Amino acid sequence: SSELTQDPAVSVALGQTVRITCQGDSLRSYYASWYQQKPGQAPVLVIYGKNNRPSGIPDRFSGSSSGNTASLTITGAQAEDEADYYCNSRDSSGNHPLYVFGTGTKVTVL
């Protein structure tokens, strides 16, 4: 089955830009979606498709993809962006698993 690899942790100064990456073979066939999860809360979709934001997600969140790597960029990070971020895609290696999640990246805003 496919795997999606993320850096475990990154930090960003308040107001600066941070990029979170997600690598995996399935990303050559399917777009990644990105989820923000704050402690004790359910995940929230922040980016889907080529670079789409659900209603209510600030435009400082953007997504991109190249080859086997998808990226989530937060431009002008805010204190409230401190959270865990997970990528996800449809699996391309066969029937199972249907979906695969990345290992997660903890973003700290300094």
Partner 1 sequence: EVQLVESGGGLVKPGGSLRLSCAASGFTFSNYSMNWVRQAPGKGLEWVSSISSGSTYMYYADSVKGRFTISRDNAKSSLYLQMNSLRAEDTAVYYCARDLAGLYYFDHWGQGTLAAVSS
Binding positions for partner 1, rule: CB under 8 A:
1, 30-31, 33, 35, 37, 41-45, 48-49, 54, 86, 88-90, 95-104
Alpha carbon distance 103, 44 (integer Å) = 16
**Nearest to partner 1 of 45, 76 (CB atom):** 45
DSSP of 26-46: GGGTS--EEEEE-TTS--EEE
- Measure the CA angle with vertex 81, ends 80 and 86; round to 5°: 140
DSSP 51: T
**Nearest to partner 1 of 15, 97 (CB atom):** 97
Q: How far is the CB of 23 from partner 1 (least distance, A)?
A: 15
**Nearest to partner 1 of 28, 110 (CB atom):** 28
DSSP 110: -
Q: How far is the CB of 16 from partner 1 (least distance, A)?
A: 26
Q: How far is the CB of 19 from partner 1 (least distance, A)?
A: 20
Tokens describing residue 33: 């979606």
Give one word for 81, left, alpha or beta, with left for phi > 0 and alpha for psi -120 to 50: alpha
Q: How far is the CB of 42 from partner 1 (least distance, A)?
A: 4
**Nearest to partner 1 of 79, 98 (CB atom):** 98
